[in-house]
A and B are shown apart, each in its own frame.
Chain A
Amino acid sequence: MTLSAHLKSRWLIFGLFAISLALLPFLIDASMGRSWVRLLDLALLYVMLALGLNIVVGYAGLLDLGYVAFYALGAYVYAWLASPHFGLHLPFWAILPLGAALAGLFGVLLGAPTLRLRGDYLAIVTLGFGEIIRIFMNNLNAPFNLTNGPQGINLIDPVQLGGASLSQPLSVFGYTFSGVHLTYYFFLLLVLAVIFISMRLENSRIGRAWVAIREDEIAAAATGINTRNLKLLAFAMGATFGGLAGGLFASFQGFISPESFNLMESIMILCMIVLGGMGHIPGVIFGALLLTLLPEALRYTGEWQRNLFGQIYIDPADLRMLLFGIALVAVMLYRPAGLIPSARRRQEFADAKA
């Protein structure tokens, strides 16, 4: 194949991919219903979160179990500045960067004292930090009502884009786009930006330094890498993405409460990364999509039961988490490097087995 033909075919694949991404919500809307488009929006948010955590865990190798705290920070910043809670209604383009920046700052604040800790100690400290943030959000309704406690904050403004609200249907050339469709495109754009940043980071001087730190911190320091600053940077970048996703989550749901930000959420995001393939962008995206959509799909076990046995023995809502747990264990047993591991990790596994 000549070079120009090769380029042409690459553009063709790229174009087909772009068109299918653009048409996806309509296909799903037509085949599976509106609620699945909404779920798709949520899945995009999780892709963003997982890619953010991937920087901390996958690239730099810092096991962070309190990642959801940054997600929560971003969400609460958005809720404070764009809801009747304080009577503020700032536009999203002012709040989202602010929430992301604040989350990044907290990432550095958490990272600075914990830099000396190794693996599991770091995990438990970040976990404690996540719990602290959640407990404060649960209780800061007195003496001054900052978070409205367990009831959470309601009526958060949706994102307003050029006069159109992402929660309202919009008519363009006689065709009506529903709110969830608009949200899909908005989120998709941001996810693509995050993917782009992640890819550029991975192959940059910084990304290679992170990998060096992950593999052997002492050797990395010996080759002149400033491990302190780079670890802080990893924390900050991961937290920034988390804060961004948090703000989007608040605007998307219109309601947030501390319940959405418990430890299980952090663990879920970590599972997405490890299950998909740590440090590998396609793997992480796949893991995030899978773990968001799988529990919903498992709701259909009720129908299977009826078809198989003629009646429902176990409430599918109760059964699905059990099946989810079994799936987690099974995948790890049979593909411990993740479903789509990076070439480097696959190699490491082959070496370890030999």
Chain B
Amino acid sequence: MDIFLQQLINGLVLGSVYALVALGYTMVYGILELINFAHGEITMMGAMVSLAVIGALALAAPGLPGGVILLAGLAVAIPVCMALGMLIERVAYRPLRNAPRLAPLITAIGVSIILQNIAMLIWGKQYIPFPPILPQGHHEILGATISDTQIAILALAVLIMAALILVVQKSRLGRAMRATAQSRQVASLMGVDVNRVIASTFIIGSALAAIAGVMVSAYYGLAHYYMGFLLGLKAFSAAVLGGIGNLGGAMLGGLLLGLIESFGAGYIGDLTGGFLGSHYQDVFAFFVLIAVLVFRPSGLLGARVVERA
């Protein structure tokens, strides 16, 4: 039972990070029908920038409490990522909005290669450790342990997602976003500044990615210029799993993927009699993804669209 609970906790924490990144994919896809391949790299940039700030501050002012240093890191990383997201949309996607769908996909790939290599040129190829500024407290619950960092990640993720839902459902911008997602043309006829709405979508998604990037590097204790790739891939899978374009779907998909991964890694050895080990963690996620899509092609929460000519 304690293993079960432990994997449940790990899965929820990991899943909430996936969900934050997945939200960025799903928001952009909902409006533009574009896989923003560079989104994982924005997450990586968030992690790297915040780590640079945190590392510098921890050296310069060792007396500062960990929470303040972390907030300072976030305070720099979030605007940097927002600016990046806006810039990418402006330069690489907006000119191609009416081009066939593969063209922006290629520019997205190009942008993600560019971001990776910029990060590599600035911070080098080595893993960058997360400085030990956070309290290392642990709590025991029914034989399973949960660290303060994990609690903070979970709480922050829930808070942010709640705020996002509020913005999308209640605010003027949110209404404009939903209208644009339904039909760009009609929305612009109703006086919605579509370009601004799309830019805002990228900015919000990038802010979420920056926060997720800091969470991942705090959770695993390191960051790397290549970390955005697999993270982005999994987050996108999570978005598709939940039903892409659907905010609730991205959250559900992220949490599910996190749980699947941690339970899969925890139990696969026992289930297969030691034939397959925990290094098949990633396979597990993709297998479930494929299975879900084959039986429910529009994702778990996606509307069943009838294809029209």
Interface residues of B in 282-308 (CB under 8 A from A): 282-283, 286-287, 289-290, 293-294, 297-298, 307-308
Chain A residues with Cβ below 8 Å from B144 are none
Whether B98 and A278, one on each chain, are in contact in the complex, defined by CB atoms closer than 8 angstroms, is no
Interface string of B263-280 (1 = CB under 8 A from A): 000000000001111011
Q: Which of B's residues lie within 8 Å of A, judged by CB?
A: 29, 33, 35, 91-92, 95-96, 98-107, 109-114, 116-118, 120-121, 229, 233, 236-237, 240, 244, 274-277, 279-280, 282-283, 286-287, 289-290, 293-294, 297-298, 307-309
Distance, CA A326 to CA B277, complexed state (A): 40
Complex Cα distance, B237 from A132, in Å, reads 13
Cα A63 to Cα B116 in complex, Å, equals: 24
CB distance from B156 to the nearest CB of A (A): 28
> Please, which residues of chain B bring their CB within 8 A of the CB of A138?
279
Q: Which of B100, B279, B293 contacts A139 (CB 8 A)?
A: B279
* Known contacts A120-B29, A322-B114, A325-B117; 17 further A-B pairs (Cβ under 8 A): A116-B297, A120-B33, A120-B240, A120-B244, A121-B293, A125-B293, A128-B290, A135-B279, A271-B106, A274-B103, A322-B117, A328-B107, A328-B109, A329-B91, A333-B92, A336-B99, A337-B100
Contact A321–B121 (Cβ < 8 Å) = no
What distance in Å separates the Cβ of B218 from its nearest Cβ neighbour in chain A? 26
CB contacts (< 8 Å) of B33 on chain A: these are 120
A127 on the B face (CB < 8 A): yes
With contacts A119-B101, A128-B237, A216-B309 taken as known, whether A326 is within 8 angstroms of B110 at the C-beta atoms is: yes
Q: B286, A132: Cβ atoms under 8 Å?
A: yes
- CB within 8 Å of B: which A240-263 residues: 263
- Closest Cβ of chain B to A195, distance in Å, is 22
User: Is there contact, CB below 8 Å, between B111 and A278?
Assistant: no
Q: Using Cβ atoms and an 8 Å threshold, which residues of chain A touch B100?
A: 336-337, 348, 352
- Smallest Cβ-Cβ distance to B121: which chain A residue: A318
- Most chain-A CB neighbours within 10 Å: which of B96, B102, B297, B308? B102
Number of interface residues of A (CB under 8 A): 53
A124 sits at the interface (CB 8 A): yes
| B224 smallest CB distance to A (angstroms) | 15
Residues of A within 8 A of B107 (CB): 328-329, 332-333
Given contacts A326-B110, A328-B110, A332-B110, contact A352 B99 (CB under 8 A): yes
| Contact present for B290 and A267 (CB under 8 Å) | no
Q: How far is the CA of A352 from the CA of B109 in the complex (A)?
A: 24
Is A265 an interface position by the 8 A CB rule?
no
Give the distance to chain B from A197, nearest Cβ to Cβ, in Å.
24
Question: Which of B103, B121, B277, B297 is the one whose CB lies under 8 Å from A118?
Answer: B297
Q: How far is the CB of B194 from chain A (nearest CB, A)?
A: 18
**How long is the Cα–Cα vector from A24 to B78 in the complex, in angstroms?**
53
Q: Are B307 and A124 closer than 8 Å at their CB atoms?
A: no
10 A–B pairs (Cβ distance < 8 Å), ordered by A: A118-B297, A118-B307, A124-B289, A128-B290, A139-B277, A219-B309, A274-B105, A274-B106, A275-B106, A321-B113
Contact A128–B286 (Cβ < 8 Å):
yes
Task: In the A-B complex, list the 9 residue pairs whose CB atoms are closest, starting with the nearest.
Answer: A328-B110, A325-B113, A128-B286, A325-B114, A322-B117, A329-B110, A336-B103, A336-B99, A113-B294
Contact B106 A333 (CB under 8 A): no
Using A119-B101, A325-B111 as known contacts, say yes or no to A132 and B96 having CB atoms under 8 A apart. no
* Nearest CB in chain A to that of B289: its residue: A128
Within the complex, the shortest CB–CB distance from B168 to chain A, in Å, comes to 22
On chain A, the residues within 8 Å of B121 by CB distance are 314, 318-319, 322
Nearest B residue (CB) for A126:
B290
- Whether the pair B113, A328 counts as a contact (CB closer than 8 A) is yes
- Assuming A123-B35, A274-B103, A336-B99, is B240 touching A324 (CB within 8 A)? no
Q: Name the distance in Å between A296's Cβ and chain B's nearest Cβ.
A: 16
Chain B residues within 8 Å of A135, by CB = 279-280, 282-283
Chain A positions within 8 Å of B101 at CB level: 119
Q: Using A132-B287, A332-B96 as known contacts, say yes or no to A139 and B280 having CB atoms under 8 A apart.
A: yes
A329 touches B99 (CB 8 A): no
CB closest chain-B residue, reference A315: B121
- Using CB atoms, name the residue of chain A closest to B273: A143
Question: Are B290 and A321 neighbours in the complex by a CB distance under 8 Å?
Answer: no
**Max chain B CB contacts within 10 Å: which of A121, A129, A132, A332?**
A332
* A111 CA to B81 CA, complexed, in Å: 38
- With both chains docked as a complex, state the minimum distance between the C-beta of A301 and any C-beta of chain B, in angstroms: 13
